[in-house]
Amino acid sequence: MKRNWMAYPYFFWMLLFTIVPLLMVLYFSFTASVNGDGRFSFANFQRVLDPLYLNVIWRSVRLAFISTVICLVLGYPVAMLLAQSQASRQFTLIVLFVIPMWMNFLARTYAWMTLLERNGLINTFLGWFGLGPYNLLHTEFAVVLGMIYNFLPFMVLPIYTVLNKMDPALTEASYDLGATPIRTFFRVTLPLSLPGVLSGISMVFMPAVTTFVIPQLLGGGQFTMIGNLIEQQFLRSNDWGFGSALSIILMLLILLSMRIMSHYDRDRGEGGGFF
Amino acid sequence: MKKTGRLIGLGLALMGLLLTAGCGGGETTAEKETLMVYNWGDYIDPQVLDDFEAEFNVDVIYEEFATNEDMYVKIKAGASNYDVAIPSDYMINKMIKEDLLLPINFENVPNYDLIDAKYKDWSFDPENTYSVPYMWGTIGIIYNTTMVDEPVTSWEILWDEKYEKNMYMLNSQRDTLAVAQEILGISLNSTDEQELEQAKQLLIEQKPLVSSYVGDEVKDLMVGGNAALALVWSGDAVTMSAQNPDLEYVIPEEGSNYWVDSMVIPVTSQNPELAEQFINYMCRTDVALKNAEYIGYNTPQVEVFEQLPEELTSDENFYPTEEILNNCEVFEDLGDAQPLYDRIWTEILAS
């Protein structure tokens, strides 16, 4: 009993800021206003099933998936490089990698706007070689770029943590037994780092599929994602019912992807996991 | 270990600094009254706020919104105690109907007399019981003369494929829908579902040509020469063409939206009397002139108008003639049709 009281504040915190809001979202999603009165209704969910909105959901999943894959492909080598470098240099490299994250996320995204503009830095630079100007800002490319830039550290760090803890004797043993570096990577390093990879994937996919700032700023309202739709309902259209229904769908989507992840992650070792 | 020790020391020192700073600030502010102002982004000369603080010995908490709809949702939710807000005509009408505004005691606002009668007693607030006009204007097209060779006379240029990905529209439902409504020749306040479907189709057709749906950032983008055309509010166009002489503003011949933004006191106000003092202060000629010069919007004040540079006040695009204004329409509150507009706008953005 003695240890339990420590948990009470957290319990109340959860109740107040997780359970109650969740129930409210659920309540609003099943409520439609009829002549000013709230009535139980499936109308909000029916509206989500409109091909128009299904297309928005599909776009969110597609863009988040592309970003996650690219983050993985870019992030894994970086994590390996970090883990394999000398201890003294490792610290510097990690600090350099993390420094941009000290700056506000919004400011970094605005910075990309000035870089990608038609008269921005990138187009000016290309202009010196007689190229462009290209429409870089307000494209799907810009949205994906923004996601990769902002979420890459969330892929690198969990993988790095796992790789760093791995006993170097294991790879050495693999070499001693005659395995090539490629074979060693696929038979030893990669399987052992899987927990880090999986948590990296969820750490990138989830913020990417729910983001609304990045498509708004870098996509210019042209590539509406589910996050934008939800924001629109709550902050402009004042349609809490539809916004809540979209939120529930988004939550189900995330639960589903977590379920798929955990399927591949039955024998996860210690460390690296966030969920 | 040494490093951690030093870090903790640094952290403690910083916290100490913050705490003392906090206390120092607390002592003086306790005696001062505070006024919460909720205004459009880039819609005041910041100097005016500093002067008000000094002159009346108060603290002003100043917050900004991007569209009328944003502002409405926040005030309706009642989470913040704004003393003064500056919405547009149709939104004021909606807020009056929903009992969100306090009547203004005009004994505290003698400077109301300085306002031109033309901008008083509009139908959204027939006797100006709740509102005091701040600025007025239109919507129109701003274009870069180095990229657009032809004369710009019609809204239809925003559907010209020549300018694909070379134009901005406003991320504001009534204003962007108004463009389609003007082209179709239907009322800006139409509540006919079929007419609105047509407007929606027109805007969905236009979407591949639009570079982006923007807010205040349109100013930087156009001044920077990032696009040929943009839908903007008239006053922003004044600011933009002052910064980039290649930019010109025009009210297309189909007509436009004629609007007035007014100062109101939301029911959540903790200090309506101070709010009235602020409104009166904003109507003082020297203050109103500073604002008009700084933000570029049209002043409803007789004396301020006379003191503005003639090249601005004689420009028909910025200070339109009666004839042009008669061809423009004022937004009205949509009442029960509001959800229809919300749905249509959501569908345009989602498509």
Q: Three-state secondary structure along chain A?
A: CCCHHHHHHHHHHHHHHHHHHHHHHHHHHCEEEECCEEEECCHHHHHHCCHHHHHHHHHHHHHHHHHHHHHHHHHHHHHHHHHHCCHHHHHHHHHHHHHHHHCCHHHHHHHHHHHHCCCCHHHHHHHCCCCCCCCCCCCHHHHHHHHHHHHHHHHHHHHHHHHHHCCHHHHHHHHHCCCCHHHHHHHHHHHHHHHHHHHHHHHHHHHHHHCCHHHHHHHCCCCCCHHHHHHHHHHCCCCHHHHHHHHHHHHHHHHHHHHHHHHCCCCCCCCCCCC
Q: Is residue B213 a part of any domain in this protein?
A: yes
Distance from CA of B38 to the nearest CA of A (A): 16
Local confidence band at A265 (pLDDT 50, 70, 90 cut-offs): low
CA of A110: which chain B residue's CA is closest?
Answer: B217
Query: Are the Cβ atoms of B349 and A228 closer than 8 angstroms?
Result: yes
Confirm or reject contact between B144 and chain A (CB < 8 A): no
Question: What stretch of H or E contains B132?
Answer: strand B131-144
Give yes or no: residues B161 and B308 share one domain.
no
Average pLDDT on A26-49 reads: 84
> In terms of pLDDT, which residue wins out, A145 or A272?
A145
Compute the average pLDDT of residues A237-255.
92
- Residues B246 and B148 occupy one common structural domain: yes
Query: B221 vs A117: CB contact, 8 Å cut-off?
Result: yes
Rounded to a whole number of angstroms, the distance from the CA of A44 to the nearest CA of chain B is 12
CB contacts of B337 in chain A (<8 Å) are none
CA dihedral B16, B22, B23, B27 (to 10 degrees): 170
Q: Say yes or no for a CB contact (<8 Å) between A224 and B350.
A: yes
Q: Two tokens at A42?
A: 């499936």
Q: What is the CATH number of the domain that holds B146?
A: 3.40.190.10
**Domain membership flag for residue B4:** no
Residues B152 and B229 in one domain: yes
Task: Say yes or no: B143 and B208 in one domain.
Answer: yes
Say yes or no: B216 and B346 in one domain. Answer: yes
pLDDT value of residue A36: 62
State the best of A54, A113, A115, A237 to mutate against chain B, taking most chain B CBs within 10 Å.
A237
B52 belongs to a structural domain: yes
Please identify every stretch of chain B with a pLDDT value under 70, giving residue numbers as ranges.
Answer: 1-30
Determine, for residues A52 and B351 on separate chains, whether the beta-carbon distance falls below 8 Å. Answer: yes
Contact at CB, A236 and B70, closer than 8 angstroms: yes
The structure tokens 């099943």 sit at A30
List pLDDT tens digits, range B157-216. 999 999 999 999 999 999 999 999 999 999 999 999 999 999 999 999 999 999 999 988
Is B8 an interface residue toward A (CB < 8 Å)? Answer: no
Contact call for residues A188 and A170 (beta carbons, < 8 A): yes
| Closest Cα in chain A, distance from residue B73 (Å) | 6
CA torsion through residues B52, B53, B54, B56, sign: positive
Confidence of residue A7 (pLDDT cuts 50, 70, 90): confident
Please tell me whether residues B111 and B34 are part of one structural domain.
yes
What average pLDDT score do residues A77-95 get? Answer: 90
Q: Give the residue numbers in A contacting B (CB under 8 Å), as ranges.
A: 52-53, 55-56, 113, 117-119, 135, 137-138, 219-222, 224, 228-229, 232-239
Q: Are B337 and B224 part of one and the same domain?
A: yes
Whole-number pLDDT of residue A35:
60
Contact B212 A53 (CB under 8 A): no
Look up the domain containing B287 and give its range: 9-134+261-313
Q: What is the arithmetic mean of pLDDT over A22-33?
A: 90
Answer whether A188's CB lies under 8 Å from A174's CB.
yes
Q: What is the pLDDT of residue B2?
A: 41
**pLDDT at site A158:** 95
Quote the number of domains for chain B: 2
Please state, in angstroms and as integers, the Cα–Cα distance from residue A26 to each residue in A40, A49, A248, B77, following that order.
11, 17, 7, 19
Residues B160 and B191 in one domain: yes
pLDDT at A270: 45
pLDDT, position B78: 83
Same domain, B170 and B126: no
The whole-angstrom separation of Cα B131 and Cα B129 is: 6
The residue among A47, A119, A236 with the most chain B CBs within 10 A of its CB, best to mutate, is: A236
Q: Which residue of B has its CA nearest to A119?
A: B226
User: Which residues of chain B neighbour A55 with C-beta distances below 8 Å?
Assistant: 350
Looking at the fold, whether B249 and B148 belong to one and the same domain comes out as yes
Strands B167-170 and B58-65: unpaired
Whether B172 and B266 share a structural domain: no
Rounded to an integer, what distance in angstroms lies between the CA atom of residue B285 and that of residue B275? 18
Q: Are B223 and B343 found together in one domain?
A: yes
Residue B301 in domain: yes
Least confident of A116-125, A209-218, B6-15, B164-173: B6-15
User: By percentage, how much of chain A surpasses pLDDT 70?
Assistant: 93
Q: Is residue B129 part of a domain?
A: yes
Q: Could you tell me if A19 and A27 are in contact, meaning their C-beta atoms sit under 8 angstroms apart?
A: no
Chain B, window 231-270: residues with a beta carbon less than 8 angstroms from a chain A beta carbon? none
Residues of B in contact with A56 (CB under 8 A): 350
| Residue A131 Rama label (left phi>0; alpha psi -120 to 50; beta) | beta
- pLDDT at A3 > cutoff 80: no
B163 part of contact set with chain A, CB < 8 Å: no
What phi, psi does B137 have (nearest 5°)?
Answer: 180, -165
Instruction: Give yes or no for B78 touching A (CB within 8 A).
Output: no
pLDDT of residue B5: 44
In a domain, B3, yes or no: no
* Residue B6 confidence (pLDDT): 45
CB pairs under 8 A between A and B: 72
